[in-house]
Amino acid sequence: MDKVRNKSVDNLMQVIAKMSSADDCYDFFSDLCTIKELQDMAQRFEMAILLKGGANYQDVVSAVGTSSATISRVNRCLLYGNGGYEKAIAIYKEGVDDGDKK
């Protein structure tokens, strides 16, 4: 994480952490990222949820439609990363207002 940390990234993360609604995040991330970047991030999060739930690579490929290389990267983060996916998954499991949580 030290490779990523700097004043600009700190500012970005602090602003995101203080956003109070999904709509605010949609507005900000829609301006900040391309549609493809947002879709890729959402897809990686979905992969992490599936992998933490016990899905194997083939299950994830079938459900998400991504490459095994991307699944491998997400899985490495789950196994050896900073715990960010786990924290996000815990928030997701607590309940988010998305209407179609799996």
Which token pair is 55? 């899905």
Angle at 49 between CA 45 and CA 52, to 5 degrees: 130
The distance from CA 52 to its chain's CA centroid, rounded to whole angstroms, is 13
Which token pair is 23? 């709509």
Which token pair is 38? 């947002």
Which token pair is 51? 């992998």
pLDDT in tens, 25-38: 999 999 999 999 99
The radius of gyration of the chain's CA atoms, rounded to the nearest angstrom, is: 15
For residue 83, is pLDDT > 70?
A: yes
User: Where exactly are the structural domains of the chain?
Assistant: 1-32, 34-102
Mean pLDDT of the chain: 92
The pLDDT assigned to 102 comes to 44
For residue 68, is pLDDT > 80?
A: yes
Which CATH code, of 3.40.50.720, 3.30.365.10, 1.10.490.130, 1.10.1270.10, is assigned to 34-102? 1.10.1270.10
For residue 87, is pLDDT > 60?
A: yes
Using alpha carbons, select from 25, 68, 74, 73 the residue that is nearest to residue 49: 74
